[in-house]
């Protein structure tokens, strides 16, 4: 187990910068998710931690050691790849024990470690099979088994669930999280799926175009996104954004007046981008909220997702109940108290009441 | 109605295939059957599909007219050595071109590939002069070194490079994380997975060496050192006329290993072609 320290990490491919001076401290035993859209640099960052990509500038420390210039084999890390990267010509047992065998460990020790890892992951009946004889989920578990057999200081996961179907992804999420709780090994997990990040990580690092947008616990990112990008990335369905101007009565936004909490009214006169999560709308009476027209009704069983038009702005609203509405119906909605986020329309940065002081 | 048409179409298709098969199968059939006929019956028209009285003594005479057993061995060991050496060199060179980034790699590969553009007839004279200076004329060294460092090896390198390019990078990255260096990754990961490509290269190289004709007739002058393609031209009588039946018996014996290798390894042959992206 070890902490991972990234100091002023920069990466360029030729003249193209992909990581721009990134600092990150991952604590011992922590599960940190690197999340962001495709091309944001999360896999590149993970590969630099692994030693598979050179660092253009900056230093990487693992367990107090500067590993920036060390080969992957000298960093005491283990990696689980997106497409498993199992050796096709070796059995499951041989795959799992390969690194120990290469390091000259005794056969008895290798067998014991492989057996232990196989028991942890439920792979004991599959040890003599070849990767081509396994399902996707089994292959993923073998890839994890190959990593845990080595008892490394840090686990690195590069989108390990991307190739699995939705149902299996949910199962494997739980298994990975359970493994982390059991082994308590420092884990860095790359994913483009914010649901995976939210459910598994102790902290989430949101990356965009090679820069860190925000670092925090899942609920911190959900409740107080630092900017519009984080607000729109975290949460499913995505946050609604409504442009308008703060007035003493609320946010005037293209034909509607959205109620604002008293602290936000201190931003009177400022242009703002109002963020409201779909699940933070509530239906109210005509006098309280904003008039909305139902465009689309999507029943999800225990929830109902509505596409609404607020004034001239289309929004998505999610209600944890069944609603007897149809497209074309009119209703009134309002944001739940404290559920409104304001962002500077020019910079996307979160606007708090403290910023009302001009 | 559909099944009737399908059956009719099938009959027509198979009939057409049989007709198309004739020009491919007939020469081999004619070679084998004529090796059992007297010379006077070989060129009769219409051709006899079956020998009237098969004469198996031609196969015995193959070995008495020339040192055919020795020549067979010459072809066999040269082909084996050339194949083994080509596999070793082309697999390493192909892996290096596919996986190792070094300055000038692409330019060097193009230079290597140009070796395929130059016909052997163009280089045979300078090569003869070179081996003459080395004192290696009328030895088997040119028959080994020219294919190993010439066009067959270039083609083999190309085939192996294409295969290794297609190998997922993640396999080697996983091996790097597991602690392996470049050489061990090549030996324990890349090479075992390259069996289809290696089989394809082995077949191509073996066939090329087995059928080599220009280099033997240029470099070899002693019958006991001849290889089979060269030896086949030596079955003449005292007046210089060809002894067709004995020559065709020798040709049948020459073609036999090739047929066997292809029948046994055709699956790898096709797989190897597929892996290189070459449509045969």
pTM of the model: 0.81
The predicted structure's pLDDT at residue A267 = 75
Instruction: Establish, for the pair of chains A and B, how many residue pairs have beta carbons separated by less than 8 Å.
Output: 50
Contacts 24+ apart (CB under 8 A), A99-107: A99/A146, A99/A149, A99/A150, A99/B177, A99/B178, A99/B179, A100/A149, A100/A150, A102/B178, A102/B179, A102/B180, A102/B184, A103/B179
Question: Are the beta carbons of A88 and B177 separated by less than 8 Å?
Answer: no
Do residues A20 and A10 make contact, with C-beta atoms less than 8 angstroms apart? yes
3-class secondary-structure state, position A243:
strand
Kindly tell me if the per-residue pLDDT of A266 is higher than 80: no
Q: At which of A232, A247, A263 does a domain end?
A: A232
Q: Which of A211, A216, A280 is nearest to A242 (CA)?
A: A280
Torsion of CA B126, B131, B137, B139, to 10 degrees: -130
Considering CB atoms only, which of A72, A87, A89 is closest to B177?
A72
What is the CA angle A167-A168-A170, rounded to 5?
A: 70
Sign of CA dihedral A287, A292, A297, A303: negative
Each residue of A277-330: pLDDT tens digit? 999 999 988 777 788 999 999 998 889 999 999 888 899 999 998 888 899 999
Q: Same domain, yes or no, for A226 and A275?
A: no
Q: Same domain, yes or no, for A177 and A54?
A: yes
Residue B190 DSSP label:
I
Q: Same domain, yes or no, for A76 and A156?
A: yes
Q: Same domain, yes or no, for A215 and A246?
A: no
Report the percentage of chain A scoring pLDDT > 70.
96
The least confident of A74-78, A123-127, A167-171, B70-74 is A167-171
Looking at every residue in chain B, the average pLDDT score rounds to 89
CB contact, 8 Å: A355 with chain B? no
CA A199 vs CA A46, A187, B72: distances in Å: 20, 14, 72
Each residue of B26-56: pLDDT tens digit? 888 989 999 998 888 888 888 788 888 888 9
Q: Same domain, yes or no, for A345 and A210?
A: no
**Mutation site, A84, A87, A139, A145, interface B, largest B CB count within 10 A:** A87
Residue of chain A minimizing CA distance to B181: A73
Do residues A154 and A3 make contact, with C-beta atoms less than 8 angstroms apart? no
The predicted structure's pLDDT at residue B280 = 33
Do residues B52 and B46 make contact, with C-beta atoms less than 8 angstroms apart? no
Question: Are the beta carbons of B174 and A73 separated by less than 8 Å?
Answer: no
**What angle, 0 to 180 degrees and rounded to 10, lies between the N-to-C axes of helices A136-148 and A107-121?**
130
Other C-beta atoms closer than 10 Å to the C-beta of A89 total 16
Residue A329 DSSP label:
-
Close Cβ partners of B221 (under 8 Å, ≥ 6 residues apart) = B138
Q: How far apart are CA A161 and CA A202, in angstroms?
A: 18
Q: Which domain holds residue A25?
A: 4-232
Q: Same domain, yes or no, for A228 and A259?
A: no
Question: Which single residue is written with the structure tokens 């597929």?
Answer: B274
Looking at every residue in chain A, the average pLDDT score rounds to 90
Q: Same domain, yes or no, for A70 and A206?
A: yes
Q: Same domain, yes or no, for A116 and A218?
A: yes
Q: At which of A201, A232, A263 does a domain end?
A: A232
Q: Which of B68, B74, B43, B40 is nearest to B55 (CA)?
A: B40
Considering CB atoms only, which of A77, A85, A99 is closest to B171?
A85
**E-state strands within chain A:** 4-13, 16-26, 31-35, 57-62, 65-66, 77-80, 154-158, 186-191, 203-208, 211-216, 240-246, 251-253, 256-258, 271-276, 281-284, 290-299, 304-310, 313-319, 330-335, 340-343
Q: Which of A171, A193, A152, A143 is nearest to A49 (CA)?
A: A152
Show residues of chain B in contact with A79, CB under 8 Å: 173-174, 177
Cα distance from B185 to chain A (closest Cα, Å)?
11
Q: How far apart are CA B208 and CA B147, in angstroms?
A: 8
CB contact, 8 Å: B179 with chain A? yes
User: Does A352 or B219 have the greater pLDDT score?
Assistant: B219
CB contact, 8 Å: B191 with chain A? no
CB contact, 8 Å: A154 with chain B? no
CATH of the domain at A149: 3.40.50.300
The predicted structure's pLDDT at residue B277 = 44
Q: Same domain, yes or no, for A253 and A214?
A: no
The token duo for A200 is: 């598994």
Question: Which single residue is written with the structure tokens 């960052």?
Answer: A45
Query: Which H helix or E strand runs over B96?
Result: helix B68-99
Kindly tell me if the per-residue pLDDT of A1 is higher than 80: no
Number of domains in chain A: 2
Indicate the pLDDT class of residue B269, thresholds 50, 70 and 90.
low
Indicate the pLDDT class of residue B240, thresholds 50, 70 and 90.
confident
Domains of chain B, start order = 14-55 (no CATH), 70-276 (1.10.3720.10)
Terminal-residue alpha carbon distance, chain B: 37
Other C-beta atoms closer than 10 Å to the C-beta of B280 total 9
- CA A4 remoteness from chain centre: 19
Kindly tell me if the per-residue pLDDT of B278 is higher than 60: no
Each residue of B88-99: pLDDT tens digit? 999 999 999 999
CB contact, 8 Å: A71 with chain B? yes
CATH of the domain at A302: 2.40.50.140
Question: Are the beta carbons of B180 and A73 separated by less than 8 Å?
Answer: yes
Q: How far apart are CA A330 and CA A306, in angstroms?
A: 12
Q: Same domain, yes or no, for A172 and A300?
A: no
Indicate the pLDDT class of residue A163, thresholds 50, 70 and 90.
confident
- DSSP per-residue string spanning A252-316: EETTEEE---HHHHTTTT-EEEEEE-GGGEEEE-TTTSEEEEEEEEEE-SS-EEEEEEETTEEEE
Q: At which of A232, A251, A275 does a domain end?
A: A232
Q: Same domain, yes or no, for A252 and A342?
A: yes
Do residues A161 and A140 make contact, with C-beta atoms less than 8 angstroms apart? yes
Q: Which of A32, A28, A9, A5 is nearest to A20 (CA)?
A: A9
Q: Same domain, yes or no, for A135 and A259?
A: no
User: Does A267 or A213 have the greater pLDDT score?
Assistant: A213
């Amino acid at each position: 187990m070890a902490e991972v320290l990234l100091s002023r990490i920069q990466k360029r491919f030729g003249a193209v910068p992909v990581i721009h001076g990134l600092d990150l401290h991952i604590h011992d035993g922590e599960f940190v998710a690197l999340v962001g859209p495709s091309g944001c640099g999360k896999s590149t960052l993970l590969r630099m931690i692994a030693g598979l990509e050179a660092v253009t500038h900056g230093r990487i420390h693992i367990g107090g050691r500067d590993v920036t210039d060390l080969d992957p084999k000298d960093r005491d890390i283990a990696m689980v790849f997106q497409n498993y990267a199992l050796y096709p010509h070796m059995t499951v047992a041989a795959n799992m024990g390969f690194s120990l065998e290469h390091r000259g460990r005794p056969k008895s020790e290798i067998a014991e470690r492989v057996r232990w890892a196989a028991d942890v992951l439920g792979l004991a009946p599959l040890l003599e099979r070849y990767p081509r004889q396994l399902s996707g989920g089994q292959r993923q578990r073998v890839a994890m088994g190959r990593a845990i057999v080595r008892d490394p200081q840090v686990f690195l996961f590069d989108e390990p669930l991307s190739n699995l179907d939705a149902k299996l992804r949910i199962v494997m999420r739980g298994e990975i999280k359970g493994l982390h709780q059991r082994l308590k090994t420092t884990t860095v997990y790359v994913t483009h799926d914010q649901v995976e990040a939210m459910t598994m990580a102790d902290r989430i690092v949101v990356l965009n175009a090679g820069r860190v947008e925000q670092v925090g616990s899942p609920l911190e990112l959900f409740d107080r996104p630092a900017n519009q990008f984080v607000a729109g990335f975290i949460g499913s369905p995505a946050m609604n954004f409504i442009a308008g101007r703060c007035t003493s009565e609320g946010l005037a936004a293209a034909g509607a007046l959205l109620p604002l909490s008293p602290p936000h009214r201190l931003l009177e006169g400022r242009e703002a981008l109002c963020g409201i999560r779909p699940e933070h709308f509530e239906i109210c009476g005509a006098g309280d909220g904003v008039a909305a027209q139902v465009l689309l009704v999507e029943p999800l069983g225990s929830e109902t997702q509505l596409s609404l038009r607020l004034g001239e702005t289309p929004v998505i609203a999610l209600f944890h109940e069944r609603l007897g509405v149809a497209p074309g119906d009119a209703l009134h909605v309002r944001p739940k108290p404290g559920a409104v986020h304001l962002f500077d329309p020019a910079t996307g940065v979160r606007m708090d009441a403290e910023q009302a002081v001009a | 109605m559909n099944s009737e048409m399908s059956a009719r179409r099938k009959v027509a298709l198979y009939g057409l295939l049989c007709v198309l098969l004739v020009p491919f199968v007939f020469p081999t059939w004619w070679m084998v059957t004529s090796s059992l006929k007297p010379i006077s019956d070989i060129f009769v028209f219409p051709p006899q599909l079956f020998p009237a009285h098969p004469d198996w003594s031609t196969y015995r005479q193959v070995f008495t007219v020339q040192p055919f057993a020795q020549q067979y061995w010459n072809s066999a060991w040269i082909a084996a050595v050339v194949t083994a050496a080509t596999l070793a060199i082309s697999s390493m060179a192909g892996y290096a071109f596919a996986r190792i980034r070094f300055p000038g790699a692409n330019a060097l590969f193009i230079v290597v590939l140009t070796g395929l553009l130059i016909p052997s007839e163009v280089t045979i004279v300078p090569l003869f002069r070179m081996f003459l200076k080395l004192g290696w004329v009328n030895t088997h060294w040119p028959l080994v070194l020219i294919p190993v460092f010439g066009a067959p090896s270039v083609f083999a390198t190309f085939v192996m490079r294409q295969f290794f390019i297609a190998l997922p990078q993640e396999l080697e990255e996983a091996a790097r994380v597991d602690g392996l260096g470049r050489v061990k990754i090549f030996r324990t990961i890349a090479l075992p997975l390259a069996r289809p490509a290696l089989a394809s290269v082995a077949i191509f190289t073996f066939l090329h060496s087995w059928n080599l004709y220009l280099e033997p007739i240029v470099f070899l002058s002693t019958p006991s050192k001849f290889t089979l393609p060269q030896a086949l031209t030596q079955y003449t009588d005292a007046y210089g006329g060809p002894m067709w039946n004995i020559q065709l018996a020798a040709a049948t014996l020459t073609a036999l290993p090739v047929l066997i290798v292809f029948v046994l390894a055709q699956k790898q042959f096709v797989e190897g072609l597929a892996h290189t992206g070459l449509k045969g």
